[in-house]
Homo-oligomer: A and B are copies of this chain.
Amino acid sequence: MVEIERKYLVNGLGYRKEARAHIRIVQAFLSTDPDRTIRVRCTGPHGFLTIKGRTCDKGTTRREWEYEIPLKDAEEMLALCVTPPIEKIRYQVEFGLHTFEVDEFTGLNQGLTLAEVELESADEVIEKPSWLGQEVTGDIRYYNSQLSLKPYTTWND
């Protein structure tokens, strides 16, 4: 499938009280090549393997294939990954017609919070909650694969 999404920085913690659920995610990458990233993810009792292709259309559109795999497999594969695991708490927030996934990173990416929203089409209009900050769609530094390699707390700017 083709994934169309936009990514934003987040201001404050206002999203927390609007969230209908949150879950802990641990993930790492078997490959961080931006043209074919391969992600292993443990989300509660579920394991997933996700392949993401090249980004096109100004970073909005990306090929993606995701398969659920046994949690045990995913846990074992984390140890095989080329990057250290990233941990984050993901909040699901409904706003207007969309669901925002707000990721609070921990560990070496502590202090970074990102919101993502998935769209039906690249030109879809989004109603923006007040806590939504600057758009960073297509900025490779905010890819989770790159946050593994160069965590937020090591950025100098």
Where the two chains meet, the residues of A that have a C-beta atom closer than 8 Å to any C-beta of B are 30-31, 33, 35-36, 38, 49, 51, 53-54, 63, 65, 67, 69, 73, 76-77, 80-82
Contacts and interface: CB of A to CB of B under 8 A. Distances in A.
B54 A80 contact: yes
B53 A80 contact: yes
A81 to B, nearest CB: 7
Copies held by the complex: 2
A65 B54 contact: no
7 contacts: A30-B31, A30-B36, A30-B51, A38-B38, A49-B49, A51-B77, A54-B80
Contacts of A33: 31, 82
Contacts of A51: 30, 49, 77, 80
Contacts of A65: 69, 73, 76-77
Nearest to A35: B80
B36 A81 contact: yes
A67 to B, nearest CB: 6
A38 B30 CA distance: 8
